[in-house]
Structure 1
């Protein structure tokens, strides 16, 4: 297996592990405090990487003095706060499935902005993917999906849309910055926003000090492995495979989320397995079409 492909797959596995790790952290930390702790750790790690590889040059920051803070608040603070809040009532697998539709949301949002509508195959992929998510959420009873949706599902959906807007915004509004620089600076501003917001829940330092060891270990895992290391691996995969071909791998996130849940004793129901497979098939159908239309890799955000 090629090294960029292997690292891309590992990145999706690390991201998938964040769903269950978040649930562990939420057992003794408030949602915004848990998200803040994770990204303080991740920001220290990824800014250190940026300093050691590309240097902490301020030129990209000056060129994007409005874009970086806005995108950080939207795609890092907004998305991850929504994920932590949503997982209080949603399940890790459902959250991962909702997040798997993010590439489709990005495609649709970009189409609205450019007024260039996707091909029929892309729309078919979107419909198939949404059918798979609906199958899981409604447990086969589509007429009662609205009643079965938890508040957490809707919050995670809002976070997914925020991440889609972040991706499109990075592509359209960021000027002359590498993927690592984009991720590092937006993560820094997003982390600042998360920390400030977490003050509404009390003293985050005191909460982290009093947290159970399991919650702290889960936060450490999410910060170093599920965020910083995953970003690094994803960057290498993009450099070796291109954006479009690497984006297809994001469809593996719900698969790994399901396998991780299975490994810790939460066996998925047959409908969940079927819905996951249909969702991945639909997203892959769309992404394969996009990959054929993409002639050259383009710069953009690294990933969630």
Structure 2
């Protein structure tokens, strides 16, 4: 049996195991926001972002080599697309996240990113010159209402500059998602993620050396900052991706994508575990935003009866 066949045979095939793993993936992504806050206490943003993805890219490239081979054929076919998607979807998204987290809160950041499936659908409709459905537009409005409630906009607070940066990052992630589907040819999801992650890591590293002193910052960082960075790289990036792919393979993308709503919930719970208790408006905002996502995705409308 080949290495690839062994890996496929080891994949959980039951719905319950796949559901659990994809739910864990969303939870892991939700913990990234608090880990980012902790890392930024000691490490500047470009250095923290590049450190995360250097570790993540090295690990996922090793996983690619073990399970599917080198992936060089896919790279030769898609090198320009991989480079562009890596710069936009990995470097751009994470630069916006790490820079934005200097003034945004983990819960707000996670909630803004939690609307990315809606952003992706709306952008895809515009690129394809299709008018978005009414439910999609209503759901987006409800989700933005939830975000506004979370940041306290109705009590006189304003969106922080970091919140707007993270919103820009969510658009970068939406473009990455659309681009992977439209521009990448004959490459597996693991190959696409590995190569775009590598190019994104290289772009972030170049920015770190241009704007900061990453070697000195990394040497001066404590074990806590290193632990937060490694958590984001190995748990919040590599494992989260692999578990999510199991869910898609076994349960399908539609059934799996709804679990993305656990991301802001996990961010809220993680913040509470670190002593940052959310207030009622934040919890209400998360609930309203999730309701908007479910509404837009059609999860709250009854399926047509079969005759």
- TM-score, normalised to structure 1, is 0.91
Rounded Cα–Cα distance in structure 2 between residues aligned with 1:50 and 1:287 = 32
Match of 2:26 in 1: 12
Match of 2:116 in 1: 102
In 1, are the aligned partners of 2:22 and 2:256 still within 8 Å (CA)? yes
Deviation at 1:119, TM superposition (A): 2.3
Deviations 1:156-209 (A, max 9, x none): 111111001111111111111111111101001000000011002333123211
Q: Which runs of 5+ in 1 are unaligned?
A: 294-304
RMSD of aligned Cα (Å)? 1.8
In 1, are the aligned partners of 2:71 and 2:191 still within 8 Å (CA)? no
Deviation at 1:61, TM superposition (A): 1.0
Match of 1:262 in 2: 272
Distance change >3 Å, CA 166–CA 282, structure 1 → 2? same
Rounded Cα–Cα distance in structure 1 between residues aligned with 2:137 and 2:302 = 16
Rounded Cα–Cα distance in structure 2 between residues aligned with 1:287 and 1:82 = 26
- Point out the structure with max Rg over C-alpha: 2
Match of 2:220 in 1: 210
Rounded Cα–Cα distance in structure 2 between residues aligned with 1:26 and 1:266 = 16
User: How do residues 112-123 of structure 1 correspond to structure 2 at under 5 angstroms?
Assistant: 112-123=126-137
Rounded Cα–Cα distance in structure 1 between residues aligned with 2:130 and 2:273 = 43
1:177 is paired with a residue of what secondary structure?
Answer: coil
Match of 1:296 in 2: none
Distance change >3 Å, CA 231–CA 12, structure 1 → 2? same
Rounded Cα–Cα distance in structure 2 between residues aligned with 1:255 and 1:261 = 10
**Which sits farther off after the overlay, 23-32 or 279-288?**
279-288
In 2, are the aligned partners of 1:244 and 1:291 still within 8 Å (CA)? no
Deviation at 1:290, TM superposition (A): 11
Deviation at 1:243, TM superposition (A): 1.5
In 2, are the aligned partners of 1:139 and 1:271 still within 8 Å (CA)? no
In 2, are the aligned partners of 1:71 and 1:170 still within 8 Å (CA)? yes
1:149 is paired with a residue of what secondary structure?
Answer: coil
Rounded Cα–Cα distance in structure 2 between residues aligned with 1:64 and 1:280 = 35
In 2, are the aligned partners of 1:79 and 1:162 still within 8 Å (CA)? yes
Match of 2:203 in 1: 193
1:266 is paired with a residue of what secondary structure?
Answer: coil
Deviations 1:119-177 (A, max 9, x none): 22222211111111111123434xx46xx111111111111110011111111111111
Rounded Cα–Cα distance in structure 1 between residues aligned with 2:141 and 2:34 = 28
Q: Find 1:151's aligned residue among 150, 154, 161.
A: 161
User: How do residues 57-76 of structure 1 correspond to structure 2 at under 5 angstroms?
Assistant: 57-76=71-90
Residues matched between the structures, number:
289
Match of 1:23 in 2: 37
Rounded Cα–Cα distance in structure 1 between residues aligned with 2:206 and 2:244 = 28
Residues 1:44 and 2:63 aligned together: no
Q: Which runs of 5+ in 2 are unaligned?
A: 1-14
Runs (4+) off by over 4 Å? 289-293
In 1, are the aligned partners of 2:143 and 2:292 still within 8 Å (CA)? yes
Deviations 1:51-110 (A, max 9, x none): 000111311111112110000000100001111111101000000011011111101100
**Which sits farther off after the overlay, 194-203 or 91-100?**
194-203
